[in-house]
Structure 1
Amino acid sequence: MLEQFVYFSDLLGCIVFAISGVLVAGRLKMDPFGVVVLASVTAIGGGTIRDMVIGATPVFWIHDTTYLYVIFATAVISMISARKAHHLPSFLLPLLDAFGLALFTVIGAEKALSYELPAVVAVVMGVTTGVAGGMIRDLLAGQIPLVLQKEIYATASILGGLLYTGSIALGVNASWALGIAMIGTLSLRLAALKWHLSLPVFNLRR
């Protein structure tokens, strides 16, 4: 039951991040190929890096090509829907990003623990899964990635990884641990967006 929940949550995370990639591509007026590329790297970039690092090869989307079909279908449907919508609310991309971050963080941490890796490594893999795809998307789009700015983004992912690994260490049921970590990540990220919370900026200027 848990494995099915994680699997479908992973697919949902791919859909959410793929949509965020489409929206960024749309703002930059990319052609359909560019849209699909940006949607793909956003959706599977972090998970690909995670699997390569922990030795889970072939990586998940090669083992299960459903991910590729889901991403392609999401990109096409999103392009059609966005054209008909004419105007997309400004909060849509950050909101989708927040949900994707929460989903991918706990899935990344869960997969690392399933390979019997230390908790600290699971936290790092959760953050990698959650933020790396968005970083690649932003770099390809010529933007400074959110994770490298003062935004509370990677911090929310770290919190989610800590909540998940800590809950598991305390003997909490895995399903509850996933829920706790996802809620924690999402709550911190949405709170940062709503109240404009941010980390201190490193500045060498006097």
Structure 2
Amino acid sequence: MSSEYFIVLGVLGVAFFAVSGALLGHDKNINGFGIVVVGVMTALGGGTLRDLLLGKPIFWVETSEYLIATYSAIFATVLFVRYMPSPSNFYFILIDTIGLAIFNVIGIEKALISGTGMIVALTMGMTTGIFGGLMRDVVCREVPYVMRGDVYASACFAGGLSYAALFALDIPYIWCILGSIFVTVLLRTASLHWGVKVDLFRKRTPRSKKKCNADL
């Protein structure tokens, strides 16, 4: 991916996540500079951790466009909320999902450019996509999406696998990117629509208890 496309994709990603952070901050009655803190944390947290793990310069320190996009998105969200005091939760979910999908691709791309294998790249994609939102939810005293059993991290991973499959087939980068984003957004939104959860440790009712209930 050329550096120009990479920066454009990154700017879109931080903008979407900055908006999601500001919207959740508004929902939790955070005001003043706190909204900026939550928005910045959401937008830059995942990418910062990724760059530290990869031993690369922090992306928003190296290129100021990311900070400009972050602050602009927060400011635009504040104006939006002032004129639409009760935005639907749909806006938050959609924006957060798009940010997740974009950041996932950016993390994968940056890891591959750094010379890692695909499994490390997929992990870096998930780290980039999830960590900022995780920080946002913790600060706002919300149970993070990734901890709720929602199709969130799994949607991110599925999007990464889609990227890896298309990459292995030597498909042009743009289709790898679009395919990954499409799969992540589709799985996340579809799971919310149909109420699908990832329940790995579902408790089973003991047989003796089932028998007692049947006797009753």
Moved more, 66-75 or 101-110: 66-75
Equivalent residue, structure 2, for 1:29: 29
Quote how far apart the aligned CAs of 1:56 are. Answer: 1.0
Quote how far apart the aligned CAs of 1:70 are. Answer: 1.6
Equivalent residue, structure 2, for 1:47: 47
Whether contact under 8 Å (1:101, 1:130) holds in the other structure is: yes
Q: What letter is aligned with 2:121?
A: A
RMSD: 1.5
Determine the C-alpha separation between the residues in 2 that align with 1:146 and 1:22.
16
Equivalent residue, structure 2, for 1:91: 90
TM-score, with normalisation over the residues of structure 1?
A: 0.94
Whether contact under 8 Å (2:60, 2:67) holds in the other structure is: yes
Quote how far apart the aligned CAs of 1:205 are. Answer: 8.8
Determine the C-alpha separation between the residues in 2 that align with 1:194 and 1:181.
20
TM-score, with normalisation over the residues of structure 2?
A: 0.90
Equivalent residue, structure 2, for 1:180: 179
Q: What letter is aligned with 1:51?
A: D
Equivalent residue, structure 2, for 1:79: 78
Question: Over residues 40-77 of structure 1, what are the superposed CA-to-partner deviations in whole Å (9 max), with x where a residue is unaligned?
Answer: 011111000000001112x0000012211221121122
Whether contact under 8 Å (1:109, 1:165) holds in the other structure is: no
Quote how far apart the aligned CAs of 1:5 are. Answer: 2.4
Quote how far apart the aligned CAs of 1:31 are. Answer: 2.2
Whether contact under 8 Å (1:41, 1:133) holds in the other structure is: yes
Determine the C-alpha separation between the residues in 2 that align with 1:182 and 1:70.
20
What 5-or-longer segments of structure 2 have no aligned partner? 206-216
Equivalent residue, structure 1, for 2:9: 9
Equivalent residue, structure 2, for 1:19: 19
What 5-or-longer segments of structure 1 have no aligned partner? none
Question: Over residues 80-106 of structure 1, what are the superposed CA-to-partner deviations in whole Å (9 max), with x where a residue is unaligned?
Answer: 210111221121111111111111111
Quote how far apart the aligned CAs of 1:176 are. Answer: 1.2
Q: May I ask how many residue pairs the two structures share in their alignment?
A: 205
Q: Which aligned runs of 4 or more in structure 1 are off by greater than 6 angstroms?
A: none
**Structure whose CA Rg is larger:** 2
Whether contact under 8 Å (2:10, 2:66) holds in the other structure is: no
Quote how far apart the aligned CAs of 1:201 are. Answer: 5.3
Q: Percent identity?
A: 35
Partner SS, residue 171 of structure 1: coil
Q: What letter is aligned with 2:185?
A: L
Alignment of 1:1-206 (within 5 A): 2-57=2-57, 59-200=58-199, 202=201
